[in-house]
Amino acid sequence: MGPEIVFYTLAFLILLVLLGVHIGIALGFTSMLGVYLITGNIDVALSILGSTSYEAIRNHALAVIPLFVLMGEFVSRSGAATDLYRICDRGLRRLPGRLAAATVVGNTAFAAVSGVAIASAATFSRIAYPEMRRAGYDNGYALGVITGSACLGMLIPPSVLLIVWAILTEGSVGALFLGGVGPGLLLGLTFVVYCVVAAMLKPAIAPTGEPDDAAPVKMRASGSELFGGISIAFLVVVVLGGIWRGLFTPTEAAGFGVLGSALIGWAKGMRYRAFLAAIFDAGRTTAPIMFLLIAGSMYARLLAMSGGMNLIQDLFVESGLSTFSIILIMTGVWLALGAIIDSISVILMTVPIFVPIALAAGLDEIAFAIYGILIIEAGLLTPPVGLLVFTVKSAVPDTSVSLSDVFWGSLPYLIMIIAVAFLILAMPELASWLPDKILN
């Protein structure tokens, strides 16, 4: 059977996903079936996929993922994220909707040490939501800013999605990290502007006064808060600066990040049980990711063996479609898949097929990667899955919050994410300028 096997296996893969089969199992089984149909020998198929799995798991670049996740867990549990939020709150006191703006700024900074949007959503649901509700903020406005700004964790380095993208395309993790900085800051600024403008147009959603039962906010940060905020900034400089200046590989930088975050945690009062809980949580987050990466490597091997990637690329190139039309098709596929499966699974299923097509169409590699991450981020907010929506719903200390409250509150952020994505596509230098400036 020739390259057309890719269409049969892709249809079978989507069917398994729709039937509720775990995406990792579906990828693995589909890959085995496809290789068997190509070779006609089950022993050869199992041998090829076994060696592919072994090569994938021994790739030292994969160590970046659990290390960065662990770094984020240490910072979150240490209380430094709370310190950061309070410092941002004080710095933005004169802005309408200051607590919402502080949530965005705090999420932007926290994203630089967590790399996982779920961690940001869970952390700020517990920190920012009670503060905004005590101040009389509208429920949907408060839930929306927490859910939407958590998406910054998937774009601002060290992003797990950027790491997975780089591994799949055999690209530079450092270049994608640099490419995500400008768009990440632009998206964060867009969120802040929306929060301020919405509060100015509808003052009732974000009252400026303090509630009667609230303690007055101190104008000066305590020593502990200053230490927490400054330590996060220092950690970002060491980790990301070390990568960009060529002092560390991404894996080495992640190791230094874990060490630094552990020291911050110890200084902030974390002890054995807290460290152990952070390690367990990091393991629960990264184990499914690693399993998916192994299954994704098997699927990529199937595409390469069958010649399916070349076939799909030729179909797009010879179709006569414009580059913009091709991008719209990819966008529609990403948004549709994002509505039913998680972001990493979307990347594993589509990136091996889409990237060669995008490069053949003349798109900038880094700008296309950032565009793809932004669109896939939008899937985190779309029903029926909306992973961040469910995370916020389960993490906020308010049982009256419904899923529809979170979905409707995050809708403006979904629109802003898609708008910034198309801006990156129209102006690729927003993503590619910094990597070109520093790495070339």
The structural domains of the chain, with segments of one domain joined by +, span 63-292+308-439
Which pLDDT does position 36 carry in this prediction? 85
Which pLDDT does position 143 carry in this prediction? 92
| Residue whose pair of structure tokens reads 């801006």 in the numeric block | 423
Which pLDDT does position 163 carry in this prediction? 87
Q: Which long-range contacts does 134-138 make (Cβ < 8 Å, 24+ apart)?
A: 134/211, 134/213, 134/214, 135/99, 135/206, 135/207, 135/210, 135/211, 135/214, 136/207, 136/211, 137/99, 137/100, 137/205, 137/206, 137/207, 138/204, 138/205, 138/206
Which pLDDT does position 254 carry in this prediction? 84
What's the mean pLDDT in 43-47?
Answer: 82
- Report percent pLDDT > 90 for the chain: 19
- Encode pLDDT of 9-41 as tens digits: 878 888 887 787 887 888 888 888 888 888 888
Q: Could you tell me which of 308, 381, 368, 307 has the C-alpha nearest to residue 342?
A: 381
User: Which of residues 53 and 201 earns the better pLDDT score?
Assistant: 201
Reported confidence tier of residue 189, pLDDT bands at 50, 70, 90: very high
Reported confidence tier of residue 86, pLDDT bands at 50, 70, 90: confident
| Interatomic CA distance for residues 297 and 422, integer angstroms | 29
**Using an 8 Å Cβ cutoff, are 72 and 82 in contact?**
no
293 is written with which tokens? Answer: 């990466």
Burial of 100 (0-12, 13-18, 19+ CB in 10 A): buried
What's the mean pLDDT in 428-437?
Answer: 89
* Average pLDDT taken over every residue of the chain: 83
- Encode pLDDT of 214-252 as tens digits: 444 454 556 777 887 788 888 888 887 887 777 888 888
Is the model's pTM score more than 0.85?
no
- Encode pLDDT of 105-131 as tens digits: 888 888 777 777 777 888 888 888 888
Question: How many CA atoms lie less than 13 Å away from 61 in the CB half-sphere?
Answer: 17
